[in-house]
Amino acid sequence: MTLDASPDHREDAEPVLAGSDLHLSFGPTPALRGASLSVGAGETVAVTGSSGSGKSTLLHCLAGILMPESGQVRYGDHDITALPDKQRSALRRTDFGFVFQFGQLVPELTVDENVALPLRLAGVGHKEARRRAAHWMERLEVTGIADHRPGEISGGQGQRTAVARALVADPVVVFADEPTGALDSLAGEQVMTLLSDVAEESTTAVVLVTHEPRVAAYADREVVIRDGSTQREQEPVR
């Protein structure tokens, strides 16, 4: 059930990732109560809603980080909810990229080592990983700080580094959870412009969680979540 705010939503396109009727509770508190969302190749979908509405929980279920109590998450031929932990971890490493609110860069590593990290973890050789990281650092405009550590760079530079890291392994889906939440307006704009440009140029699907309408406006469409449920597009007012 989606409140689809876009006139050009590609209804016919085969989604690369589709969660349907997801339910999950934390103890007695229901977090998801019938949430559904699908995203197509090259499409950016914004998940919006107030604090505690369940938007980050939905993202975590779609990415296979949390397991819903019921419902399905289809990714290609897989039902992610039916995969064992190990396979879900492997999927996250090879097919998904992540950007979180506070970057979550490894503080001991330099910017270029952070960007190359997903490739190194996937077994790519040092030289090749550095070469591919260099491409994405240039694209995200962080080449000049390649040898800096996260503690030595600004919030905006850190988030652009995190976006480069999320994209370095050519993921099928990028999950971005409040990627501009800790940034000022201009730094947030730079991060979103670069992220949306890259998504538009490639076939990468982006699931973007945000509470900021200006950030959601970078997406192709918006799905609103309230009290754990995604909202169906409403009939016109009588």
Closer of 93 and 226 to other proteins (Cβ): 226
Measured CA to CA, the distance from residue 129 to residue 121 in angstroms comes to 10
Q: Which stretch binds other proteins (CB under 8 A): 11-19, 58-66, 106-114, 221-229?
A: 221-229
Q: Does 112 bind other proteins (CB under 8 A)?
A: no
Residues 90, 75: contact at Cβ < 8 Å?
A: no
Task: Taking each helix axis as running N to C, give the angle between helix 185-201 and helix 155-167, from 0 to 180 degrees, rounded to the nearest 10.
Answer: 10
By CB under 8 A, the residues from 167 to 196 that bind other proteins are 193
| Alpha carbon distance 172, 5 (integer Å) | 24
| Residue 123 interacts with other proteins (CB under 8 A): yes or no | no
Does position 107 interact with other proteins (CB under 8 A)? The reply is no
Tell the smallest beta-carbon distance from residue 190 to other proteins (Å). Answer: 11
The region of 13-21, 55-63, 126-134, 219-227 touching other proteins under the rule CB under 8 A is 219-227
234 binding other proteins? (CB under 8 A): yes
Query: Does 209 contact other proteins by CB under 8 A?
Result: no
- The CA–CA distances, whole Å, from 163 to 17, 139, 152, 158, 168 equal 20, 10, 18, 9, 9
Among 78, 87, 226, 230, binds other proteins (CB under 8 A): 226
CA distance 2 to 38: 9
Q: How are beta strands 229-230 and 221-226 bridged, if at all?
A: antiparallel
Binding mask 40-69 for other proteins (x = CB under 8 A): ----------x-------------------
- Is position 100 an interface residue for other proteins (rule: CB under 8 A)? no
Q: Which is nearer to other proteins, 80 or 219 (CB)?
A: 219
Q: Does 219 bind other proteins (CB under 8 A)?
A: yes
> Contact region for other proteins (CB under 8 A) — 4-12, 82-90, 159-167, 168-176?
4-12
Taking each helix axis from N to C end, the angle separating 111-121 and 155-167, rounded to the nearest 10 degrees, works out to 20
- Distance in Å, CB of 184 to other proteins, minimum: 13
- Whichever of 79 and 200 has its CB closer to other proteins, that residue is 200
Shortest Å, Cβ 162 to other proteins: 21
* Residues found near other proteins in the complex (CB under 8 A): 3, 5-7, 50, 193, 197, 212-214, 216-220, 222, 224, 226, 231, 234-238
